[in-house]
């Protein structure tokens, strides 16, 4: 299919069955698309960053042990459905959309030279061409790559995670070589979405730096001109790829992994064309990883009273860390100078905020862990039915049960209910700051009780364990040069008041929630606004479209701090015990 025909086809897919809306040519609307682990979402925002309408559509996922896979074709169909529904709810006409941006999980997509899916599944299922971010098939490959001690590793916390792309590509390469022609491409999911929409395979500085070991600062030094359109990919370390056995990825000026790399929001190709006959095209910006889009959508959301003078803005942003809380939680902090922090990803040059170094902490299972804990409890089905009959979420119902228990048992505060239950939340390994993919989860204090109240306690202890993990990350970052004193939170879990209050109390910092709850969609839409040149830079767009909402402060009760300090020490001790037990068993099996 030719480039123009393909673009026409893409727009027809997205815009068919649009509601009949009388277009206002002067109206300025930006469309953001986000593909998460379980759904594709679309949101439309006005030029002040206000959400006009959004919608989501589920996507299929296959899980088989450590293997987790999806279909790019299924994902694209879900995006089209979400965009149509969002435009309908917002009553937005296609002509009013001035820019489009994509964000997605850091999943790995395999396609051939024509953009057709290439299976990554041992099952041979041709639909399954996406290795999902949480897939842990490449643990051994990551260990082998890390043993090479390449200089690029210092820019990802000292070691690659099995969730990053070089280990995953290494685990699949032999299958591809035997089953297919060598004419294929690896793409991060968000880059593939932009490619699918524009036929431009330029990769994002965000995805390549954060997941592929691309050296963004080398890219910047080579270009040496912020306004240059020369997007030659000059930050690849060819010796690294040769050393880990993936030298073929260097061929053709790195055509399989990215021969051109651009800053997020850079306009791609000719954009998304509405019809083959019309001249106006919708600009599409270079993409972001979903967590980084959340950072772009929220990090400038400081309350007006807390806004620093313009000359201090560059430092003020460095005291914040963004928690993007969904299936997993990502912790995003920026600094003016590069900070090398063991066990924490980065420093990544301009991977989120232009001209800042990004530090990225994370927990591989947070929302997914809470779902797992709840769904596998004997009282889960009964509670789910209660929640449905009352038309509230299961989290709301559990929070009310905890409030009632606190009152009935005369506890001084809700958190005190878990004095006998402690959770180490590393059920899917520890991403940071320990960077141990073999870490396991621990629940201390189980009994034979299967009541709703016991499930509520287990849920609370898990929330607290997740928050202690965030405290560990913040303390670790501050010990290595950061000066974080404020948290900003977005994502699905940020809508849970108990989750947010426990984080504020445990970390000891105020938490700012954004005015618009869909921060990842806003971050994606900001990319479209920048690509459409409605703002001079990504930084200016963030300042214009970010806005603060509620601020949650930590408890002033000294008993709350003393309580959480004690539980935090237990939390840290659970992992130390695990290491001791692991060593004992290794010796026994030696």
CB 471 within 8 A of CB 390: no
Residue 103 falls inside a structural domain: yes
Please give the share of the chain, as a percent, with pLDDT higher than 70: 88
Q: Is the pLDDT of residue 275 over 80?
A: no
Q: Is the pLDDT of residue 222 over 70?
A: no
Q: Is the pLDDT of residue 444 over 90?
A: yes
The pLDDT value recorded for residue 303 is 79
The H or E element containing residue 490 is strand 486-490
pLDDT confidence tier of residue 312, bands split at 50, 70 and 90: low
Q: What is the mean pLDDT of the chain?
A: 90
Residue 490 falls inside a structural domain: no
The pLDDT value recorded for residue 4 is 39
List C-alpha distances in Å: 31 to 16, 28, 107, 287, 482.
16, 10, 22, 13, 34
The pLDDT value recorded for residue 244 is 92
More confident residue, 462 or 120: 462
For 241-258, the pLDDT digits (tens) are: 999 988 888 989 999 999
pTM for the predicted model, two decimal places: 0.90
The pLDDT value recorded for residue 122 is 85
Segment 64-74 shows an average pLDDT of 95
**Please, how many CA atoms are within 13 Å of residue 467, restricted to the half-sphere of its CB?**
30
Give the CA radius of gyration of the chain: 23
Strand ranges inside 7-142, DSSP E: 29-35, 39-46, 51-58, 62-64, 67-70, 97-104, 108-112, 130-131
Please give the share of the chain, as a percent, with pLDDT higher than 90: 80
Residue 91 zone, left/alpha/beta (φ > 0; ψ -120 to 50; rest): left
Percent helix / strand / coil, the chain, rounded to 5:
45, 20, 35
More confident residue, 293 or 184: 293
Task: Give the chain's domain count.
Answer: 1
Residue 249 falls inside a structural domain: yes
Q: Is the pLDDT of residue 1 over 90?
A: no
The pLDDT value recorded for residue 15 is 59
For 105-119, the pLDDT digits (tens) are: 999 999 988 889 988
The pLDDT value recorded for residue 300 is 96
More confident residue, 113 or 48: 48
Q: Is the pLDDT of residue 227 over 50?
A: no
Chain centroid to CA 259: 24
Closest residue by Cα to residue 348 from 340, 338, 358, 356: 358
Q: Which domain holds residue 34?
A: 3-262
The pLDDT value recorded for residue 171 is 83
List C-alpha distances in Å: 9 to 17, 100, 231, 279.
14, 16, 27, 16
Segment 498-506 shows an average pLDDT of 98
Residue 290 falls inside a structural domain: no
The pLDDT value recorded for residue 124 is 81
More confident residue, 5 or 167: 167
The pLDDT value recorded for residue 87 is 93
Q: Is the pLDDT of residue 277 over 60?
A: no
For 519-564, the pLDDT digits (tens) are: 999 999 999 999 999 999 999 999 999 999 999 999 999 999 999 9
List C-alpha distances in Å: 126 to 36, 50, 117, 389, 529.
22, 40, 7, 41, 36
Residue 322 token pair: 């963004």
The pLDDT value recorded for residue 234 is 80
The pLDDT value recorded for residue 278 is 47
Whole-angstrom Cα distance, residue 554 to residue 570?
Answer: 21
Segment 463-481 shows an average pLDDT of 98
459: Cβ–Cβ under 8 A, 6 or more apart, which residues?
370, 373, 374, 398
Segment 262-287 shows an average pLDDT of 81
Residue 258 falls inside a structural domain: yes
Residue 87 falls inside a structural domain: yes
The pLDDT value recorded for residue 2 is 41
CATH number of the domain within which 188 lies? 3.30.420.40
Segment 26-51 shows an average pLDDT of 95
Whole-angstrom Cα distance, residue 41 to residue 350?
Answer: 26
pLDDT confidence tier of residue 20, bands split at 50, 70 and 90: low
Residue 415 falls inside a structural domain: no
pLDDT confidence tier of residue 7, bands split at 50, 70 and 90: very low
Whole-angstrom Cα distance, residue 268 to residue 284?
Answer: 6
Segment 202-223 shows an average pLDDT of 87
pLDDT confidence tier of residue 313, bands split at 50, 70 and 90: low
The pLDDT value recorded for residue 220 is 65
Residue 50 falls inside a structural domain: yes
Among 41-50, 51-60, 171-180, 576-585, the minimum mean pLDDT is found in: 171-180
Residue 584 token pair: 């004992």
Q: Is the pLDDT of residue 191 over 70?
A: yes
Segment 128-137 shows an average pLDDT of 94
CB 339 within 8 A of CB 372: no
Whole-angstrom Cα distance, residue 362 to residue 164?
Answer: 13
The pLDDT value recorded for residue 280 is 64
Q: Is the pLDDT of residue 276 over 50?
A: no
pLDDT confidence tier of residue 306, bands split at 50, 70 and 90: low
More confident residue, 315 or 260: 260
Strand ranges inside 263-356, DSSP E: 284-289, 320-325, 329-335, 345-349
Closest residue by Cα to residue 406 from 418, 392, 397: 418
């Amino acid at each position: 299919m030719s480039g123009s025909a393909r673009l026409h086809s893409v727009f027809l897919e997205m815009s068919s069955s649009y509601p009949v809306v009388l277009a206002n040519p002067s109206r300025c609307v930006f469309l953001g698309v986000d593909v998460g682990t379980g759904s594709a979402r679309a949101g439309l925002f006005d030029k002040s960053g206000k959400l006009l309408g959004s919608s989501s559509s589920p996507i299929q996922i296959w899980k088989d042990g450590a293997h987790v896979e999806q279909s790019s074709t299924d994902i694209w169909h879900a995006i089209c459905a979400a965009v149509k529904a969002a435009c309908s709810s917002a009553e937005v006409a296609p002509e009013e959309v001035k820019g489009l941006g994509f964000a997605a999980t850091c999943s790995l997509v395999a396609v051939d030279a024509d953009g057709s899916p290439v299976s990554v599944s041992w099952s041979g299922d041709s639909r399954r061409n996406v290795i999902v971010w949480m897939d842990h098939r490449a643990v051994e490959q990551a260990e082998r790559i890390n043993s090479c001690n390449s200089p690029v590793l210092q820019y990802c916390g000292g070691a690659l995670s099995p969730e990053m792309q070089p280990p995953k590509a290494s685990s699949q390469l032999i299958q591809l070589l035997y089953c297919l022609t060598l004419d294929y491409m690896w793409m991060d999911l968000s880059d593939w979405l932009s490619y699918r929409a524009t036929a431009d395979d330029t990769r994002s500085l965000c995805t390549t730096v954060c997941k592929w070991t691309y050296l963004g600062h080398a890219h910047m030094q080579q270009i040496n001109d912020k306004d240059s359109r020369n997007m030659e990919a000059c930050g690849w370390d060819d010796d690294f790829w040769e050393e880990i056995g993936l030298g073929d990825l260097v061929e053709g000026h790195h055509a399989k992994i990215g021969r051109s790399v651009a800053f997020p929001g850079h306009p791609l190709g000719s954009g998304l064309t509405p019809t083959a006959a019309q001249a106006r095209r919708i600009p599409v910006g270079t993409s972001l990883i979903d967590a980084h889009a959340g950072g772009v959508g929220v990090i400038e959301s400081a309350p007006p009273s807390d806004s620093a003078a313009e000359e201090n803005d560059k430092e003020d942003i460095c005291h914040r860390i963004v928690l993007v809380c969904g299936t997993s939680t990502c912790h995003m902090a920026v600094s003016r100078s590069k900070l090398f922090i063991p066990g924490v990803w980065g420093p990544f040059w301009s991977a989120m905020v232009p001209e800042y170094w990004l530090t990225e902490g994370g927990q591989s299972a947070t929302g997914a862990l809470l779902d797992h804990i709840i769904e596998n409890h004997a009282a889960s089905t009964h509670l789910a039915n209660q929640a449905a009959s009352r038309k509230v979420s299961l989290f709301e119902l559990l929070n009310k049960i905890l409030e009632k228990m606190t009152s009935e048992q005369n506890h001084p505060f809700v958190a005190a209910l878990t004095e006998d239950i402690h959770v180490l939340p590393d059920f899917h390994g520890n991403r940071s700051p320990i960077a141990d993919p073999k870490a396991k989860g621990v629940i201390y204090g189980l009994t034979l009780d299967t009541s709703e109240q016991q499930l509520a306690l287990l849920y609370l202890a898990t929330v607290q364990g997740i928050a202690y993990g965030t405290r560990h990350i913040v303390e670790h970052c501050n010990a290595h040069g950061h000066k974080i004193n404020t948290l900003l939170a977005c994502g699905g879990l940020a809508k849970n008041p108990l989750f947010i209050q426990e984080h504020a109390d445990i970390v000891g910092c105020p938490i700012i929630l954004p005015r618009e709850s869909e921060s990842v969609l806003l971050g994606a839409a900001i990319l479209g606004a920048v690509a459409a040149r409605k703002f001079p830079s990504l930084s200016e767009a963030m300042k214009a479209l970010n806005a603060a909402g509620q601020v949650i402060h930590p408890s002033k009760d000294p008993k709350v701090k003393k309580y959480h300090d004690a539980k935090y020490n237990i939390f840290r001790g659970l992992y130390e015990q695990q290491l001791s037990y692991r060593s004992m068993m290794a010796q026994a099996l030696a």
